[in-house]
Amino acid sequence: MTRALAISGILLCAAACERARPLEHVDPSQLAIGDQVTVRTDTVGMDAHARPATFALVDADNLGDLPAAVTLGGVLVDADGQEVGRLRAESLWIPPRGRRTFALVDDQDQARPAAVAARIDVRGAVRPRHDEPVSIEQGHVWKDGDRVVATAMVVNKADRPCHAVVLAGFHDRDGAPMTRPFSVFPIGADIERPARFVGPPGSTTGYIFVGKIRC
CATH at 32: 2.60.40
Burial (CB count <10 Å: 0-12, 13-18, 19+), residue 137: exposed
The Cα 208–Cα 205 span in angstroms is 11
Q: Are residues 178 and 115 in the same domain?
A: no
Residue numbers of the domain that contains 146 = 134-214
Model pLDDT for residues 29-80, shown as the tens digit of each residue: 999 999 999 999 998 877 777 889 999 999 999 999 999 999 999 999 999 9
Per-residue pLDDT band for 18 (boundaries 50, 70, 90) equals low
Backbone φ and ψ of 210, nearest 5°: -105, 135
Model pLDDT for residues 97-149, shown as the tens digit of each residue: 999 999 999 999 999 999 999 999 999 999 999 999 999 999 999 999 999 99
The Cα 211–Cα 122 span in angstroms is 18
Backbone φ and ψ of 48, nearest 5°: -65, -15
Q: Are residues 85 and 120 in the same domain?
A: yes
Residue 19: pLDDT above 90?
A: no
**What is the reported pLDDT for 50?**
81
Residue 13: pLDDT above 90?
A: no
